[in-house]
Structure 1
């Protein structure tokens, strides 16, 4: 840090087990990724390529390499997972994770309807291949989930 502020805990060193910082890459260019990392790499623990931007990202392998060279894991966001699942292409999605050397994957149902048992089964299957991150909730603001239900969903997905 550039100066001292009292009552602020010290930041733990990487690799961290808690207090992780996830950053969403919403379609940054290679140069923007380099600039971002020049000021934030020490504070960034993992990067999510959001909203299936990887589908249209030019030079995707180069972008992934930049993050990896900085020691930052990167993963495809849940919207891409959903795009494959809704088209009955789950096996293709698993091959895609291997093709791009992904160590993490996100499972979500934010923009599609999915039975909770099915979501948990996807988590179980992917967990044999990668570290799974699960997103709970919907992008549809009309779909209100009461707090007790959030807890049930999160517990089920953690168990999966």
Structure 2
């Protein structure tokens, strides 16, 4: 039983169809990650092994972390940059085989750091699905100048086509910093008019908004409710975000 549970707002338990939280693992040790999940794992739905961090760690450690996360009903998955490296080197089959051997049930497919034709990206989504993986795909470029070249209408079309190809969630790129990229301006403020257009065209339950900063998380919770899907959450901010979702902080108390 939780402390002061009589004051809390109940949220849908896992597996959740909405109110999803995706956390970024930037290379935590097994015991550190396990300790964190013991206290906060019930609030985490997806755990991304950030970027290409899996490459620089031993297989046994990665495999053990994957199994640990799954034991808390969390879906661990490989970061999009890892897929992009495999695609560039013509090693997609080897990438999927290694992901399977390490126990990953899901992969991210993106083109944020490289140039991949959209048709090829869709084919990769379909291939990963055929191979039995859940797919999360990301739309947007990590270079702000290149990302600005992606018109809103085109961004929306890509999102829907990737969902149609088999992505379970489509991620709106915001990087780890959440500034001057995608739906955020140089100060990290949300471009609400653009968000409204996206919401008018795409099922909100299928969108995972990268919102690494507290103010961004507050914005989405107040705008869309505590069942909004949020990603690129720091491992340090799991409890912080959950208290925002449950209206336990000044930013959201009495407003959920």
Question: Taking structure 1 as the reference length, what is the TM-score of the superposition?
Answer: 0.91
Q: Does 1:131 align with 2:149?
A: no
2:87 to 76, 80, 85: 85
Do structure 1's residue 50 and structure 2's residue 50 form an aligned pair?
Answer: yes
Structure 2 SS opposite 1:48: strand
Aligned length: 157
Whole-angstrom CA distance in 1 between matches of 2:163 and 2:108: 13
Provide the C-alpha distance between the structure 2 equivalents of 1:116 and 1:10, rounded to a whole number of angstroms. Answer: 41
Once the two structures are TM-superposed, the CA of residue 2 in structure 1 deviates from its matched residue by 4.5
Report the equivalent of 1:154: 159
- CA deviation profile, 1:84-117 (whole Å, cap 9, x unmatched): 1010111111211221122211100010011100
Q: Which residue of 2 aligns with 1:94?
A: 96
User: Helix, strand or coil: the match of 1:51?
Assistant: coil
2:124 corresponds to which residue?
Answer: 122
- Cα distance in 2 for partners of 1:40, 1:135 equals 26
CA shift at 1:31, angstroms?
A: 2.1
- Give 2:212's aligned residue: none
1:140 aligns with 2:146: no
Contact kept in structure 1, 2:84 and 2:111, CA below 8 Å: yes
> How far off its partner does 1:71 sit?
2.1
Secondary structure of 2:48's aligned partner = strand
Which sits farther off after the overlay, 127-136 or 64-73? Answer: 64-73
- 1:40 counterpart residue number: 40
Once the two structures are TM-superposed, the CA of residue 29 in structure 1 deviates from its matched residue by 1.0
Distance in 2 separating the partners of 1:100 and 1:30: 15
Query: How far apart in 2 are the matches of 1:57 and 1:73?
Result: 19
In 1: Cα distance, 2:63 partner to 2:137 partner: 24
Q: Which residue of 1 aligns with 2:29?
A: 29
Structure 2: state its 5+ residue gaps.
166-256
- RMSD over aligned CA atoms reads 1.5
